[in-house]
A and B are shown apart, each in its own frame.
Chain A
Amino acid sequence: MSARVIVITSGKGGVGKTTSTANISVALAKRGKKVVAVDGDIGLRNLDMVMGLENRIVYNYIDVIENNCKLPQALVQDKRLKGYLSLLPAAQTRTKDAVTPEQMIELCDKLRPEFDFVILDCPAGIEGGFRNAAAGADEALVITTPEIPAVRDADRIIGMLESMGKSPIRLIINRFRPIMVQNNDMLSQDDVLDILSVDLIGVVPEDDGVIRASNSGEPLTFEQSTPAGEAYANIAARILGENVPMLQFDANSQSFLSGFKKMFGF
């Protein structure tokens, strides 16, 4: 077994990296893949809480790097998907300087033989934390929302990932609001793709369920009954190479139609 190592990143903070990491990891594990979700945000860890595993952390990967424990001791098994899903937590009381990119590459290489997927949750920014998290990855998923600051930062990050040789680099558009797009008050999927010229792997609609899920520490993809949960499950399927059609929010066709109606006055 040699894992695919995928970094989930965005540049801008607060666009859904951690939520996406948790949901995609759960969805892949539900598909029978052995997955480890790695929290790349040393000092500001949150993936543990979003996944509902915060009470079970003993060691973290800084302990592994500094030889305070063995790698299996730091891995937190998720009992809901036993044998398939693990979390490798970050240290909360350390800073980004605690590791080097070389050490992260070494850590990822230790994880590769044990898993099918290593999903790295990257911290915001383009500094050391990003470089550490991206260093060990083969592929990247870039998260943006259809808003100016997020799209601009996504473009920067895509440029940096390209120069680091990550491939494929694919885009997730998060917090998509079909009605706003329909009213021409939000960038559409096509607008964002025109601007960033990158491959799309999924569009996740704005969904109150995301906040409820993080409140309780149960990622949506455990249930999959909400729009965002379904979108994340589809993204996981596309990661596995399946040809799943994009969810249709029919905002585009509606806005086109209403444009016609306006033009002809009905």
Chain B
Amino acid sequence: MSFFSNLLGGKSNSSAKVAKDRLTLVISHDRTDISPQLLENLRKEMIAVLTKYMEIDESNIDIGLDSNDRETSLVANIPVVRIKRGQPNR
């Protein structure tokens, strides 16, 4: 990466480039930082939707955001006890 940016712009060591890279990274984290309240609301609504289709073990649900360098994923581990057959109740 730095080889290519050296080749293309020759300014990989410039302080502006360093600033942009650091900002891009930290802002991508800032943007996906979720408040506990919001996460709790999300959790409740997800449970409400899921229980229309399956019986789930609500006491062992794990929901959170997982960030690595450039991407953020919503990771949910929800144990299923039993799938409800037929049409869900609306």
A, B assembled together: yes
A252 to chain B, nearest CB (A): 12
Q: A155-B27, A155-B30 are in contact. Are A148 and B11 (CB under 8 A)?
A: no
In the complex, the answer to whether B24 meets A195 with C-beta atoms within 8 Å is yes
B residues contacting the other copy or chain, number (CB 8 A):
16
In the complex, the answer to whether A195 meets B27 with C-beta atoms within 8 Å is yes
Which residue on A lies nearest to B14, using beta carbons?
A184
In chain A, residues 150-170, which have Cβ atoms closer than 8 Å to a Cβ of chain B?
151-152, 155-156, 159
State A187–B17 Cα separation when bound (angstroms). Answer: 8
A198 to chain B, nearest CB (A): 12
- State whether the Cβ of A113 lies closer than 8 Å to any Cβ in chain B: no
- Cross-interface CB contact of A185 among B14, B23, B24, B31, cutoff 8 Å: B14
Which residue on B lies nearest to A260, using beta carbons?
B10
In the complex, the answer to whether A188 meets B24 with C-beta atoms within 8 Å is no
State A184–B18 Cα separation when bound (angstroms). Answer: 10
B interface, over-half SS: helix
In chain A, residues 181-217, which have Cβ atoms closer than 8 Å to a Cβ of chain B?
181, 183-188, 191, 194-195
State A186–B14 Cα separation when bound (angstroms). Answer: 9
In the complex, the answer to whether B10 meets A155 with C-beta atoms within 8 Å is no
Chain A 243-266: CB-based contact to B (< 8 A → 1; otherwise 0): 000000000000000010011000
State A194–B17 Cα separation when bound (angstroms). Answer: 12
In the complex, the answer to whether A155 meets B15 with C-beta atoms within 8 Å is no
In the complex, the answer to whether B20 meets A181 with C-beta atoms within 8 Å is no
- State whether the Cβ of B16 lies closer than 8 Å to any Cβ in chain A: yes
Residues of B at the A interface (CB closer than 8 Å) are 9-11, 14-17, 19-20, 22-24, 26-27, 30-31
